[in-house]
Chains A and B, each alone.
Chain A
Amino acid sequence: MQLISLQVLDLQALDLQALWLTLRLALSTTALLLLLALPLAWWIASGRGLGRVLVQAMVALPLVLPPTVLGYYLLVAMGPLTAPGRLLMRVFGHPLAFSFTGLLIGSAIYSLPFAVQPLVAGFGGVDASYLEAAAGLGASPWRTFRSVVLPLTRSSLLTSAVLAFTHTVGEFGVVLMLGGNIPGAKRTLSISLYDQVQDFNYGAANRTALVLLGMSLVALAAIYLLPGLQKTNGRQADVVR
């Protein structure tokens, strides 16, 4: 029964540096992803055409690509052996691989589809006649987006943020490739868990796994718990007409 001892609060045994890095990385990635995903999803949702199809396919690529493949390409791209890597090195002053910025970029690319897809679905569900109503009142596209589209798609926004967060918390392959499993500095919880299992330290692994499970569960529960976030796609208002 030692396997399921629930000493989660025994923080001494938990890799606190890994927990801190994981949280910092997941929160930064979520913030960065929302900044990227909002305009991108809006652009994808608001039209047709080959360009949009291609972009959507590229955004979805991390869904099917083995994370280690993505991590490998990013490692090469960020490393000193390629022209883009050297350019990035000059911009940031240090090699991006094995740095927090490198991890952040990798995580953002890896979790991009999880941030973009809910938003595309949400934006696509907004009745176009609301956009016309706003434009007919003189609202610019940007004002329409802020004052009409975003309030109608709050639930999609939350889903997008939570998925980006949880997906980043759980990622392994990209971080392993880009972070290099440098103890303390660039080791996240999921990699710490892997190391603990490799060391046959099942007690520690158990706690790490539980923390990861708890984080995911709490984040997902937020989607279902927060009131008033369900079915707000603006369809209920005009039932009468």
Chain B
Amino acid sequence: MNTKNKTKQTNISQFFKSPSRGDSPFKRLIIHLILIVACVIAIYPVLRIISVSLRPGDRLLSTSLAIIPKDASLYSYYRIIFEKPFLLWLWNSLAITITTAFIGLILASTSAYAFSRWNFPGRKPGLFFLLTTQMIPAAMLVVPIYILAVKFQLINSYRGLALAYSVSSVPFSIWILKGYYDTIPRELEEAAKIDGASEMAAFFRIILPLSTPALAIVFLFNFMMAWNDWLMARIMLQRENMFTWPLGIWTFSGQFRVEWGSFAAASILVAVPVMVLFLYSSKWLISGLTLGSVKG
């Protein structure tokens, strides 16, 4: 009871001491106005996509600025689901992305543990190498990957793309997970060893379960990275029924046959779940970005 009162009190005192203390109503009004303008700028282009997706087929290009167009129709949605291979593209993306995320997670979870707990020969150069790979732009690796994929006949295959995505996901996952393992005290494993557990048992039964949040973040990051990628898919996939969704919606906005209705409807269908997931998990994602740098 006492502590409860106390927190309430500090809450109140914090409220008065907060940076807004002494703000005049006029200043508050200005702040709200600026934020409202910023919000409009942030969401208006997104609302425009919704607006285009609802336009009836004969009026896709219009100079109207209304969000809900007159005689709105769901024809574009019907068209991409039943007349375009959109669902197939989504499936391709999903299958490749989940495989990549799992490969990244499995390879990284054990090796990050080795980097965190043992001072083996080659550790420092290894860490430096992992950091360097993070600076290599994807556009730089596409040339050799494309030519090697042609030689090994991995063009137009799910396998090729899943492997290509693992290129960037494994080092990144190791880096993040190592940062997280570093924060788990070694005493936990030592206690387990005293109780007779082997080193591997200590890892699988104590460290891994404790790392679930970091594992989830790494999975989510790898998923997002591969899910939203256009560049690697562009060079690895050439047949339209192998496309992932970013390639698919890109063809709708292409230079030769622009189909804004299909583009907008497909975008909305993809973006809504992704954005819900992102907004819901954004707190973890941000903490994940800094996980690796906690000690640095």
> Is B one of A's binding partners?
no
Q: Taking beta carbons and an 8 Å cutoff, which residues of B are in contact with A?
A: none
